[in-house]
Amino acid sequence: MARKQDRFAKSASAQVVVNGHVIRIAASKDRESLERSIANLDRRIADDDWRPYTSKEEAIKRWNSLKSHLPAVLRAKGLI
């Protein structure tokens, strides 16, 4: 007998977990973009590099105003 599939199995591929927070994505290509953004943000935090902004606060304020997945990443990282 075939194993019954979980009703959430299809949607599990449309989400990424960051620090225990689930970020929903629309398509698999969005996953790649999200993973690049996470890696970029991790690098900026580690290097304390906020260019072209003058401060971490200014960078976070600007990124939070964007209409993308970046505000969700900032929330997951505990920056906002």
Give every CB contact of residue 23 below 8 A, 6+ residues apart in sequence.
15, 16, 17, 34, 69, 72, 73, 76
Query: What are the residue boundaries of the structural domains of the chain, listed by start?
Result: 9-76
Q: Are the CB atoms for 64 and 74 separated by under 8 Å?
A: yes
Per-residue pLDDT of the chain (80 residues; tens, 9 = 90+): 444 545 554 555 688 899 999 999 888 788 899 999 999 999 999 999 999 999 999 999 999 998 888 999 999 999 98
Q: Which positions ≥6 away from 41 have C-beta within 8 Å?
A: 73, 74, 77
For the entire predicted model, the pTM comes to: 0.75
Structure tokens of 63?
């990124």
